[in-house]
Structure 1
């Protein structure tokens, strides 16, 4: 179910200028694989960070995308692949006087930048992509849901979750009450509960493998319950 469409920013000139400032940054923080992909598009397909700058990647997939592009990664936050774990890293504890470029999409979270600024850093955004609402025949998906052919929903961003609720409209309560929702991160888990989802499961750590293992666990639990009912 396509809930987000990723597109290039309308005017990439600002991001291009920021990425081209080879002697200014102490840290470059890439927030996602899309941040890597669109940054590379903007600057012509290859990028060499300034020698003095260190590079942080939020998420293993982001780090892999950077490595594939030949960009050295100095920091991958753990145990969670999110801004909170990055901020908890020793490297981010004292950033007084440092210049940090956050490469992200338009309208991303402000928590990372605000915290780094509170710790004394100068933070600038290079916004290299945007998220738009895709066209979708929601009636098709609602029919599948009502036929019992959708057993679980996975969501990996708050914006995707908000879009799902928008698409469902008045039918949302029918599904939020009985369909398990697998999410990553405590922030999205809280948002899901606030939006009315009854059965929310957080996959940890925030990775495709954790999501897959969580779904398998749900399927095994459901199968065991069905077997027990059949045996009675």
Structure 2
């Protein structure tokens, strides 16, 4: 077989229900894919903040959405409050990443701004107008997200309203099949699409295998979607062999294929 990942076993650590396209793409390159959900997307502990923001949508100048989860939970809650898209008529929408933009377009809306790089930091550097005095609504993950956007926009004079739109938690029950593959040292590569997937991966292994869980990772390589995730890999796992140059899932696949000789 000429496929670059033929004979390689790759563990995908995305949220349950969100890994299918990524896994399918890896399989097209010949990989055997084992899905190990390390993220569970659930509603926030309270809807109060988001509901209050939705009730006063007309007060905001910008809506910032940094993930498909933020899009889904924001608009589903908007609909549940019997509000329609006309409430967003006067608000500009900024998104991070083409996947987030696609999800927004599926709901009939066109983003007003997408930064050239698929990272939140690029949002601040390339923002199309001065944010001094602007009111910005930022629906986001309840805990564990980076604060770079909030700090940077606040420093530039923006009035940021952060609201919890969803929560990403560690699954309570580890996936037995994927844990067994790790324990048996049968995996060639583990992929990480966020720092939180790295943290939860470590938690699940410790929970299942015990204090010596790191020993089961001696022969496996790690692939990261970008610098922040790589930083977490190095902090918790001691290393990372592959990092995407373009900080997207497609970019991660390209990096894995390009460096398949490492596996």
Shared fold (TM-score greater than 0.5)? yes
1:227 maps to none
CA distance in 1, matches of 2:76, 2:223: 32
Q: Give the 3 Å change call, closer, same or farther, for CA 3–61 of structure 1 in structure 2.
A: same
The structural deviation recorded for 1:67 is 0.7
Matched length? 220
Counterpart among 40, 63, 70 of residue 101 in structure 2: 63
Match of 1:29 among 57, 64, 68: 64
Change (3 A) 1:172 1:36: same
- Are the equivalent residues in 2 in contact too, given 1:176–1:197 (CA < 8 A)? no
Distance in 1, matches of 2:75 and 2:251, equals 29
SS at match of 1:214: helix
Written as runs of structure 1 = structure 2, the 5 A alignment for 1:43-192 is 43-44=78-79, 47-48=85-86, 50-79=88-117, 81-91=118-128, 94-107=130-143, 108-137=145-174, 140-169=177-206, 170-192=211-233
Give the C-alpha shift of residue 138 in structure 1: 5.5
Which stretch of structure 1 is more off in the superposition, 163-172 or 70-79?
163-172
- Aligned counterparts of 1:155 and 1:47: Cα–Cα separation in 2: 35
Please report the TM-score for the alignment, with normalisation by the length of structure 1.
0.86
Cα distance between partner residues in 2 of 1:143 and 1:95: 50
17-26 or 46-55, larger mean C-alpha shift: 46-55
CA distance in 2, matches of 1:175, 1:215: 22
Q: Distance in 2 between matches of 1:161 and 1:121?
A: 32
Equivalent residues of 2:226, 2:245 under 8 A apart: yes
**How far off its partner does 1:220 sit?**
4.3
Q: Does the 8 A contact of 1:138 with 1:168 survive in 2?
A: no
Distance 1:126 1:137 in 2: 29
Tell me if structure 1 keeps the 8 A contact 2:38–2:170: yes
Q: Distance in 2 between matches of 1:77 and 1:171?
A: 42
**Within 2, Cα distance between the matches of 1:114 and 1:135?**
32
Q: 1:3–1:164: 8 Å Cα contact kept in structure 2?
A: yes
* Residue 240 of structure 2 corresponds to residue 199 of structure 1: yes
- How far apart, CA to CA, are the structure 2 residues paired with 1:91 and 1:175? 48
The 3-state SS of whatever aligns with 1:78 is: coil
Q: CA deviation at 1:176?
A: 4.5
Q: Which residue of 2 aligns with 1:13?
A: 48
> 182-191 or 45-54, which moves further after superposition?
45-54
How many Å separate the matches in 1 of 2:110 and 2:176? 46
Shift of 1:90: 4.0
d(CA) in 2 for partners of 1:218 and 1:54? 40
> Is there any run of 5+ residues in structure 2 with no aligned partner, and where?
1-35
> Does the 8 Å contact 1:152/1:215 carry over to 2?
no
